[in-house]
């Protein structure tokens, strides 16, 4: 059986340099925790939280821009 190397997202170095505990998820190294659950919960409730969707792939076909917009808060295309 061929062993597959776990991939790194574009944010991997950022996560590691900021102390994230990294785990393998769906073939990628992903951050699961930085500090404590309670501290992170409070931080998200009082400031902002970000979820790294870069491991989810890219949409293909018709309306791919609209599907990508649905995964983001800020628009990708400014008209």
Note whether residue 51 is domain-resident: yes
Would 75 be classed as within a structural domain? no
Does residue 78 lie within any of the structural domains?
A: no
Q: Is the pLDDT of residue 63 over 90?
A: no
pLDDT at position 4: 84
Predicted local distance difference test score (pLDDT) of residue 68: 58
Does residue 74 sit within a domain?
A: no
19 within some domain: yes
Separation between Cα atoms, residue 24 and residue 56, nearest integer Å: 14
pLDDT tens, position by position, 2-32: 788 999 988 899 999 999 999 999 889 999 9
Binned at pLDDT 50, 70 and 90, residue 58 comes out as low
DSSP assignment of the chain, as one string? -PPPPPEE-TTHHHHHHTTPEEEEETTEEEEEESS-HHHHHHHHHHS------GGG----STTHHHHHHTT-SS-SS--
Whether 59 maps to a domain, the answer reads: yes
Residue 40 covered by a domain: yes
Residue range(s) defining the domain that contains residue 31: 7-69
pTM, 2 dp? 0.60
Lowest mean pLDDT among 5-19, 28-42, 54-68: 54-68
Q: 76 in a domain, yes or no?
A: no
Please count the structural domains in the chain. Answer: 1
């Amino acid at each position: 059986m061929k062993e597959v190397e776990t991939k790194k997202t574009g944010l991997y170095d950022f996560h590691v340099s900021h102390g994230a505990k990294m785990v393998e998820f769906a073939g990628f190294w992903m951050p699961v925790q930085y500090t404590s659950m309670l501290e992170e919960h409070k931080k998200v409730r009082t400031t902002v939280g970000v979820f790294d969707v870069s491991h989810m792939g890219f949409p293909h076909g018709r309306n791919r821009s609209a599907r990508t917009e649905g995964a983001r808060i800020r628009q990708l295309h400014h008209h």
